[in-house]
Amino acid sequence: MDTTLRDPLIGHVLDGRYRVEARIAVGGMATVYRALDTRLDRVLALKVMHPSFAADASFVGRFIREARSAARLAHPNVVGVFDQGEDGGYVYLAMEYVEGCTLRDVLRERGALQPRAALDVLEAVLAALGAAHLAGLVHRDVKPENVLIGDDGRVKVADFGLVRAVGSQTSASTGSVLGTVSYLAPEQIEHGAADARADVYACGVVLYEMLTGAKPHAGGTPAQVLYQHLQEDVPAPSAAVPGLAPALDDLVARTAARDPGRRPADAVELLAEVRAVREALTGEQLDALPPAAAGRDGSSAPAGAEDRTAVLPRRAPETPGSPDAGPLDRTTVLPVPAAVRAEPGEPAGPPGPPARRPRGPGRRPRRSATALVTTVLLVLGAVLGVWYINSGQFTRTPGVLDMTEAEAKRTIEEAGLEWRIVRDYSDTVERGHVIGTDPGRGERIRGNGTVTVTVSQGPERVEVPDVTGDTPAEARRKLKAAGLEPGMVTREFSEKVERGSVTRTEPGTGSVRRPGTAVALVVSKGARIEVPGVVGEAEGTARQRLEEAGLRVRTAPERVFSEEDEGAVARQSPREGAVAAEGDTVTLTVSKGPDMVEVPDVEGMGEDEARRALEDAGFEVRVRRVFFTGTVFDQSVAGGERARRGSSITVWVR
């Protein structure tokens, strides 16, 4: 149906934060929407409980428990829950949005999977369930609908709405069992008990379904399926797919054993077994193509009654159904037949017609022919009414993907439907062609409903704004407002733009780019200045010259010895002639004057001894020989006087 026009939540903002944009799926207890978190600007999935359940404290409690339980499981294969709340009559969960499909969608399209693909999916599911089991939690509703496969190939387990802590009461309410009929473990049906082995059983059923393309137990009613869970083993997959490896048969038999004691204790133990089986299989066995996967045309049929989540009370009167859905097609409260919940001492058998009491002699029929005809007509009318409510008034949305707008309108009108056009940008669909529809292709819609058609405007383009002269912060705000991303920042000299302001962008102002394109900012370093040389000048004079040139001056805290006079500039950084920008800083180091050292008295010493004494004091030594006895008899600077460190002292030797 046309969810945009009929669903009151579309376009609504829950809690002043979550804007509901589109409906994704409808489940037994809740509807899932794609929504935008306006506070954090991110897309997420919003799970909103049906109003009929929102007034039930037990269902609301289950919703809250799902949020808390999933929030505890920080695992890459578990769909994360971000928030939980209530707005008026709407109780909701805000969850991670996974772009992709469900395992059910894959099975409908392919029929069955190759063993390698089936084990890939199963390992990811078991990793998620293993995290839950280690945390003391049981999922209790493992099925293909709750296994999400992202467009990037990641597998995630969703819908922890039925989760319970191990050891807590596991029935949905007094005298009832909550779950999905095709995947309920026998102990859930008989006793309402559900520990980690109930999840293991459901994984065994899912594995069988992936390998064969069909469920192990099928029936026209939930009661027939429940009876088979209790009385019949899951058959070997190779019976439906000849040639499957015996190890896969053994894995399914052990995982989906009716006796919980024969199953692996939890998902962690089962994951180890699955990996061991994979290692034992050959490449040919892993890549065997099941017959059910061949010859598919991509069409899919709606899920049967056993696909739906149902509340099955073990000893409760039947709850009347809603006027537009039968008990096989909706989440409901159903009594478990006596054939399933056999009392002690009574054999349980398949459901069948009740035994008739024999008519005694002369006993007349209790109903006249007229009454019988009336009953038949009433039943027939009821059947036709139910058919019309559930199917007769609906049709399927035609496929118009990538058609031109005119072709799409004509196709929808020929199907007897109304159309509504909206437009959006697309990088992949040509301008004027259809991007998609709501409802999607093949989905049910009332015969007089309206299909919303989204037509491509071509790739979205934005223009780079002029940010010349702005500060970098102002420039970034303008770029983001235009739908662009601020990129790296570089600096250059500029005679026109003041220091610290933007001189230009790359790409330049007025360039047309896709939204989200990175735009680099070039910021002014100010005018180019050649640093003057001030070494040897008095500190005050040097500071004045530099500041007049447009530079800032900093004096180093420590003075140094140098050849310059005390108080003069000994050195500068940057050096003389270097290129700097207006406002750059030049550091000056001030001289303490020459480093004067006392000269040792070396007269009377041997030549070598005198040389060592003078060099140790920091002087260079020059020797003049008069005679060759090797004794110093004179020196150029007398002992006890002071001379500059590093200067040369001459000694005369005779």
Render 70-81 in DSSP notation, one character per residue: HHH---TTB--E
- Decide if 96 contacts 83 (C-beta within 8 A): no
Q: For the chain, first and last CA: distance in Å?
A: 121
- How far apart CA 515 and CA 511 sit, in angstroms, is 12
Structure-block tokens of residue 281: 């299989």
Place of tokens 């009433």: 378
- How far apart CA 45 and CA 197 sit, in angstroms, is 30
Place of tokens 């962690």: 268
Q: Rounded to 5 degrees, what are φ and ψ at 164? A: -140, 150
- Decide if 145 contacts 106 (C-beta within 8 A): no
Active site residue 141: yes
What would you report as the CA-atom Rg of the chain, rounded to the nearest whole angstrom?
43
The 552-555 sheet, strands edge to edge: 552-555, 585-590, 569-573
Structure-block tokens of residue 443: 């989905």
504 beta partners: 522
Alpha-helical (H) ranges within 403-452 are: 405-414
- How far apart CA 57 and CA 273 sit, in angstroms, is 41
CA distances from 226 to 183, 337, 354 (A): 9, 9, 19
- Decide if 189 contacts 179 (C-beta within 8 A): no
Q: Rounded to 5 degrees, what are φ and ψ at 138? A: -120, 130
- How far apart CA 46 and CA 81 sit, in angstroms, is 10
Q: CA-CA-CA-CA torsion for 564, 565, 566, 570, nearest 10 degrees?
A: -20
Place of tokens 């579309």: 10
Catalytic residue among 2, 7, 141, 195: 141
Element housing 446 (H / E): strand 444-446
Q: What is the separation of C-alpha 382 from the centre of its chain, rounded to a whole number of angstroms?
A: 47
The 155-157 sheet, strands edge to edge: 100-102, 147-150, 155-157
Task: Collect all residues with Cβ–Cβ distance below 8 Å to 482 and sequence separation of at least 6.
Answer: 462, 463, 464, 465
User: What is the three-state SS of 454-519?
Assistant: EEECCCCCEECCCCCCCCHHHHHHHHHHCCCEEEEEEEECCCCCCCCCEEEEECCCCCEECCCCEE
Element housing 37 (H / E): strand 30-37
- Decide if 200 contacts 270 (C-beta within 8 A): yes
Q: What's at 324, amino acid-wise? A: D
Which residues participate in catalysis according to the annotation?
Answer: 141
